Structure 1
């Protein structure tokens, strides 16, 4: 028996405390809590909700369990009515699939695309969904920070020709993007935090650690952290150059004003008396 997971990114953030009441769920969600939509909540959104679930995460990831593609689209379009900021213009550029196989005759094993167990436990679903959600959200941030590195490389190339080519507002936007990446990867994705279930369940903690290693979450996070730190160092250098350029312009403006004042003084001293 297989349980199929598909994780996708539909935005930078989902307001679970605003979404939950629409499904009759009256509780407050912390950043680390996913919102789980089960069969009862999915009735009316998908035709047959048996054995189907959807995990929603604050950091913009959705993990669908046993849903077909058209059913996933139905769920996303329904969520779009609750969260207008959800982006459905693209065909899910950040997604990943995984399977949970229950086989009483097989040994426990973790593979790149599946987890094999002899009996299914509740924590299997939550741990797999959490790891997949973090992985696809991390991929989104990886691609975006790489795009930002490409932009900075173009600025560096201009700088090598003696052209800075960056305004104060452009520098401010670039710095804001870098800070947003750092916030997303640490606070929104909460990559370094374990789900609550791992604190009370040794098997859940072990599975979480093994899947984290499989998806290289910590290595990828460290990679991304180093890239953002490098970007911050570069933008600080750019900031120094921009300030120096502004200082130079100010000095020239002062020099020009002084020269104008001298010219006006000479005019009043030597030319005005003649008239």
Structure 2
């Protein structure tokens, strides 16, 4: 029997795979959906004991480490930040997922909330587990960011209940761009609705991917994010309409005031 421990992190919004690959002497142009895999020979300069260890790096900001202790994963993350300067200024994150792959020739296929047991291992098992974990932590980051934005909007709604609307056009534009970014990230960056290439080519790999995707509720979580972003966009549209109405009302009052001033000046001129 053998077991493999997976731990995944989100370390940024985007990782430059081609730059990191070039650093390790990997001469290949990576497609957006394709992970960069660091193997034992690549990890020798980073880890004291790189044997039987892997790192999957995804362009949408997630990494997945296999058979590593916590301090080793941090060594890898710090090393990657030295290569990709865009990662350097990202704050440390504690968003992570743990998962275990157990290979037991005498056991039946079994899935629990944090492990999966198989009787025979194939290369696609590592790739698919890493892909699902990477998407899961990236989704969790988006979920947390959306909840923070919802809290901010709730404060604005509370002001509205008091008859006040204190939000500038600039803040409204920033808020709308964040919401659109969440929507774009889940579809284009994380490619949540896409299967790995091996799942298109191998029926067993496809079943395995579907099983894991259901376990981590990727589709359900995507739908919740989709509904929240649509709700947020509806709310910002209302804010936009209210601020426009407020602006129009100010302009109307300015016109009225200028008209009154003109009348007063003409009366003063007439009597003088």
> TM over 0.5: same fold?
yes
Please name the residue that 1:44 is paired with.
45
- Cα pair distance change 1:187/1:16, threshold 3 Å: same
Please name the residue that 2:85 is paired with.
84
CA distance in 1, matches of 2:151, 2:63: 29
Please name the residue that 1:170 is paired with.
171
Q: Deviations over 1:206-259 (max 9, x none)?
A: 000011111110001001100000000000000000000011111111111222
Query: How far is 1:164 from its partner?
Result: 1.1
Please name the residue that 2:150 is paired with.
149
Query: How far is 1:85 from its partner?
Result: 2.7
**4+ residue segments displaced more than 6 Å:** none
Query: How far is 1:98 from its partner?
Result: 0.4
- Cα pair distance change 1:19/1:68, threshold 3 Å: same
For 1:241-252, list aligned pairs within 5 A.
241-252=242-253
| Unmatched segments (≥5 aa) in structure 1 | none
For 1:142-221, list aligned pairs within 5 A.
142-221=143-222
CA distance in 1, matches of 2:83, 2:255: 56
Tell me the TM-score normalised to structure 1 length. Answer: 0.95
CA distance in 2, matches of 1:250, 1:15: 49
CA distance in 2, matches of 1:267, 1:20: 80
Query: How far is 1:88 from its partner?
Result: 5.8
1:263 aligns with 2:264: yes
For 1:36-115, list aligned pairs within 5 A.
36-86=37-87, 89-90=91-92, 92-115=93-116
Query: Which secondary structure state, in structure 1, belongs to the residue aligned with residue 64 of structure 2?
Result: strand
| Unmatched segments (≥5 aa) in structure 2 | none
Tell me the TM-score normalised to structure 2 length. Answer: 0.96
Please name the residue that 2:32 is paired with.
31
CA distance in 2, matches of 1:20, 1:250: 57
Query: Which secondary structure state, in structure 1, belongs to the residue aligned with residue 102 of structure 2?
Result: strand
Alignment RMSD (CA, Å): 1.1
Query: Which secondary structure state, in structure 2, belongs to the residue aligned with residue 252 of structure 1?
Result: helix
| Aligned length, in residue pairs | 270
For 1:231-250, list aligned pairs within 5 A.
231-250=232-251
Query: Which secondary structure state, in structure 2, belongs to the residue aligned with residue 26 of structure 1?
Result: coil
